């Protein structure tokens, strides 16, 4: 408790009174869960649904490993078969193709992860899984997409 | 410790000012931390004013929805309790008016302007009995100072009254306790 000017010191409660005041029984106020939910849901709606959490890179590790293995398997096969090269569309990109390099791969997941970490305003289009929140689940969705594409070739 | 727990721990360590800056940037998690940091204090204060736990819960909800409407752009210039106090008090008065809307005479409205002195129940301490009989404005200053830990200047800001008025109310409250047979023992050295 702050004690400032000597005049304020005269208005101090003696220690016994202070102790007794702090021992006063307090009415247990039951706060219904609905009140917590009403307030916090309003906050999420108003503040844009974005919950800041440090990005957990380890969550992408399994996807990175899977993509690496698939890339190692698929790319040599493409060179052997000499499939005709496919030029990426000049203007139209997959929604998951964040870096607009014409393919959906783990680099797009990294790109979104970096943007999440930076706290920059995110394009609603990046809500890949459509759950209304742009978070690490969307990076996982891109990684999953990249894996599924890698199985069938480049996007 | 997983990422979620780490983030929660980080929020708990932030000051009110840091949380408010984060809320201004759109962090809902920071608002959640601020809410739980002050929820019980606001509920207790609302109960002090309304005397009913249901009404206190309503006031709690309305108070934080009011706080939320201040964002973005909210700037805290004092203790957050100083900001919350008048909101809780005004919303409590409104809640009690609503509850007593059928008692429309001027005398009734005058009566409900003051906080109800909590009825000391049998078996409670004598300090509670004496506190309950203090004038509401003296009791409130005393509790804000010695239970809630606000400085005299913060109480003046919260209650929107001159500092001198705070001092005189506190002085009178302490004098009543000092003179009362049931509480004068607390002033013995």
CA pair distance B46, A128, nearest whole angstrom: 44
Residues 82-141 of A with CB under 8 A from B: 119
DSSP state for residue A74 in the 8-state scheme: H
Chain A nearest-CA residue for B33 = A40
CA pair distance A29, A20, nearest whole angstrom: 21
A153: left (phi over 0), alpha (psi -120 to 50) or beta: left
CA pair distance A50, A54, nearest whole angstrom: 12
Chain B nearest-CA residue for A36 = B61
Residues from chain B contacting residue A47 (CB–CB below 8 Å): 23, 26-28, 31, 71
Task: Per residue of chain B (189 residues), give pLDDT as tens.
Answer: 567 777 777 888 889 999 999 999 989 999 999 999 999 999 989 988 888 888 899 999 999 999 999 988 888 888 899 999 999 999 998 888 877 765 555 555 555 556 555 555 444 578 888 998 999 899 999 999 998 889 899 999 999 999 999 999 999 999 999 999 898 888 876
Taking an 8 Å cut-off on Cβ atoms, the answer to whether A46 and B71 are in contact is yes
Residue given tokens 């752009």 in the structure block: B73
Q: Which of B4, B68, B145 sits opposite A46 (nearest CB)?
A: B68
Best to test chain B binding among A6, A15, A28, A35 (most B CBs inside 10 Å): A35
* The model's pTM: 0.58
- CA distances to A6, B46, B66, B81 from B87, rounded to whole Å, are 31, 10, 8, 10
Question: What domains can be seen in chain B, in order of their start residue?
Answer: 1-116 (1.10.1740.10), 118-184 (1.10.10.10)
């Amino acid at each position: 408790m702050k004690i400032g000017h000597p005049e304020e010191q005269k208005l101090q409660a003696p220690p016994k009174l202070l102790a007794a005041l702090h021992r006063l029984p307090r009415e247990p106020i039951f706060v219904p869960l609905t009140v917590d939910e009403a307030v916090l849901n309003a906050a999420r709606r108003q503040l844009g649904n974005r919950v800041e959490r440090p990005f957990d890179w380890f969550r992408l590790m399994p996807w990175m490993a899977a993509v690496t293995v698939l890339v190692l398997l698929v790319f040599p096969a493409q060179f052997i078969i000499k499939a005709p090269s496919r030029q990426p569309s000049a203007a139209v990109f997959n929604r998951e193709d964040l870096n607009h390099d014409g393919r959906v791969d783990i680099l797009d997941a990294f790109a979104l992860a970096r943007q999440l970490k930076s706290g920059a305003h995110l394009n609603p289009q990046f809500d890949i899984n459509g759950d209304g929140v742009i978070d690490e689940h969307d990076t996982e969705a891109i990684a999953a997409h990249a894996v599924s594409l890698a199985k069938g070739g480049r996007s | 410790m997983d990422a979620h727990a780490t983030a929660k721990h980080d929020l708990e360590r932030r000051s009110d000012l840091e949380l408010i800056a984060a809320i201004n940037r759109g962090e809902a998690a920071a608002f959640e931390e601020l809410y739980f940091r002050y929820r019980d204090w606001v509920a207790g204060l609302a109960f002090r004013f309304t005397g009913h736990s249901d009404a206190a819960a309503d006031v709690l909800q309305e108070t934080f929805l009011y706080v939320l409407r201040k964002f973005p752009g909210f700037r805290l210039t004092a203790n957050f309790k100083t900001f919350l106090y008048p909101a809780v008090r005004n919303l409590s008065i409104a809640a009690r008016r609503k509850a007593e809307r059928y008692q429309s005479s001027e005398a009734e409205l005058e009566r409900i302007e003051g906080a109800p002195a909590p009825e000391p129940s049998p078996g409670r301490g004598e300090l509670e009995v004496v506190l309950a009989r203090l004038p509401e404005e003296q009791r409130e200053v005393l509790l804000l100072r010695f239970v809630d830990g606000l400085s005299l200047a913060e109480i003046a800001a919260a209650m929107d009254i001159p500092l001198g008025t705070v001092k005189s109310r506190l002085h009178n409250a302490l004098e009543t306790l000092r003179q009362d047979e049931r509480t004068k023992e607390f002033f013995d050295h």
